[in-house]
Structure 1
Amino acid sequence: MVHKANRPTVHDMRAMKARGQKISMLYVTTLEEAAAADAAGIHMLSIESRFFTPEMREAAGRCFVQVGLPFGPYGGLATAEDYLRAAFRFTAMGGDCFYCAASLDIQKALCDNHMPVVAHVGLIPSYITFTGWRAVGKTAAEARSVWDHVKQLEAIGCFGAELEVVPDRLGALISQNTPMIMLGMGAGPGADAQYLFAEDVLGCTDGHKPRHAKTYRTFAAEYARLQTERIAAFREFIADVNAGSYPEPQHNVAMADAEFAAFKADLGL
């Protein structure tokens, strides 16, 4: 277990930005993914609160962990007090900073209570009904809107912001002109961090893949092979049960003849 004193802090992450060091970041959901990220040397993890446990924190090792506070209907957090209680609880569990896509007043309440807040600008999935699934900031007016949002977040004291699906030149310009850590997901190479989902990196899903996603291994094929083998094993088990070939003698608990005879005699059988 990595002692808290040996894990990166907000100060350390800001120092990485100051010296121009790129930050690698993954969204993970399992203990195995978190442990692999730590072993590989990933700098930062995003873990939704529904997956964040003491065991997950331990598996994440030296990674700087962003805990995602569920927005509104997804987790029942509605008021600033709700978010504060959740943030304090996950701080005690080892969370290093907190993703929050709620309103500015809620984000400010967290900042005012010294919680390191990561907000969200550009394409914001929880607000998708207003924008649709598309890049945000391709026009001068929209780029200015993203810029202004970043400046509002700076003013209330946010530590960072996820910068999602914006033009690469906009991503670079914003990152260069804010003290916040800009976590780029489809925001070009100029963002402070490059942020991907582990499921995309590992090729775990079928269907649509975001433009910014890159697959380094193809786990889906291995999962499909394992599922075929799983079904085959279950069918063989059924066949053994039906044929009476399972259980075999080595699977059974033996009882001495004399003891069994005494038992039957006691029953009068």
Structure 2
Amino acid sequence: MSTRPRPESDEKTRPKPVTLPGLLALKRERQPVAMITAYDFPTALAVDEAGVDIVLVGDSGAMTVLGYDSTVPVTVDEMLTLTKAARRGVRRALLVGDLPFGSYEASDELAVATATRFVKEAGCDAVKLEGGSGVPLARAKAIIAAGIPVMGHVGLTPQTATALGGFKAQGRTAEGARRIADEARALQAAGCFCIVLEAIPAELTEQLMPSLDASLVIGIGAGPATDGQVLVLHDMVGLGSGGTAKFVKRYAELHGPLVDAVQRYAGEVRDRAYPGPEHSYAMPEAERERLDLG
């Protein structure tokens, strides 16, 4: 096929990579951090060129790219394939790999082994896991102790959404809010460099932020008080046919133009309007005269 990966850049043109200390410096300076998802080479290339600070290869790719009904079925090998592709497109941003459901819960040893695969095989700078108490908290501690940076995730945690009553906002009662606050603080105490707060009331985030002074805090549907924001790329650019959450802002509508482009292509093929002479190769006249295929 005609499309090729971009050539390797030399050290003079390669952008300065985002680092964990650099991100925490942005927090101290109150400079908002932009995070986005990507799941393959072309989207990773685009979001990195756009200048985002963190690229997450989220298990949301199970739904947006692989077509599953939820994030639960996606495997480690599938996530590694997506993450390797994204790594080839990301030169500047910090790359975070999402540990899928079932890949870390059973033991500390399994958690460390899975996280290590994301670092060694896919080139991740850090990994993300969901939950901030009990088993997930213990696994986060084990992975951090093994020298791998961890991004935590509390509030609405899609891998366990069924147990939370479905895909809906969390922490809307005082008791629920305290639980989320306790989990976020526990993840910070465990050494997580970053904590994602998903689908929680803005008031909860505002009250929680002063106590989260050591970890970068990224929100998704958590109000404007966090250190930064994250969205699923396919949601914010209108790719795919699924519904979107209240917190999603559409910055583009790419599904329609994509369908239109393919429809026009298919129509031109059927009308024999494509390919035209400008898209075809020709033989030198002398060679054409010599050619006789019988």
Tell me the TM-score range normalised by the shorter chain: 0.7 to 0.9
- CA positional deviation for 1:229: 2.1
1:2·1:58 contact (CA, 8 Å) conserved in 2? no
Question: SS in structure 2 opposite 1:110?
Answer: helix
In structure 1, distance between residues paired with 2:116 and 2:144: 12
How many percent of aligned residue pairs carry the same amino acid?
27
Say which of 10, 34, 38 aligns to 1:28: 38
Question: SS in structure 2 opposite 1:98?
Answer: strand
Say which of 222, 239, 242 aligns to 1:204: 239
Say which of 192, 207, 227 aligns to 1:192: 227
Say which of 154, 162, 170 aligns to 1:121: 154
Residues 93-140 of structure 1 show CA distances to partners (whole Å, capped at 9, x for unaligned) of 431111112622211110111211112100111111111221111111
- CA positional deviation for 1:76: 8.4
Question: SS in structure 1 opposite 2:88?
Answer: helix
Say which of 230, 237, 252 aligns to 1:217: 252
Match in the other structure for 1:108? 141
Normalising by structure 1, what TM-score? 0.81
Give the unaligned 5+ runs of structure 1.
Answer: 241-247, 265-269
Q: Does residue 95 of structure 2 align to residue 65 of structure 1?
A: yes
1:2·1:62 contact (CA, 8 Å) conserved in 2? no
* Inter-CA distance 130–249: structure 2 relative to 1 (3 Å threshold): closer
- CA positional deviation for 1:156: 2.1
- Provide the aligned C-alpha RMSD in A: 3.0
Residues 199-255 of structure 1 show CA distances to partners (whole Å, capped at 9, x for unaligned) of 122111334211111111110111110231243245346x99xxxxxxx9969x968
Q: Does residue 211 of structure 2 align to residue 177 of structure 1?
A: yes
Residues 41-82 of structure 1 show CA distances to partners (whole Å, capped at 9, x for unaligned) of 1111101433111x532311111111112121xx68743323
Which has a greater percent of helix? 1
Matched ranges for 1:1-269 at <5 A: 1=9, 6-48=16-58, 49-50=79-80, 51-53=82-84, 55-72=85-102, 78-92=106-120, 93-101=122-130, 103-131=136-164, 132-178=166-212, 179-236=214-271, 256=290
Larger Rg: 1
Give the unaligned 5+ runs of structure 2.
Answer: 1-8, 59-78, 275-279
Normalising by structure 2, what TM-score? 0.75
In structure 2, distance between residues paired with 1:77 and 1:58: 29
Query: Which residue identity does 1:127 align to in structure 2?
Result: T
* Inter-CA distance 5–85: structure 2 relative to 1 (3 Å threshold): farther
- CA positional deviation for 1:5: 9.8
Match in the other structure for 1:267? none
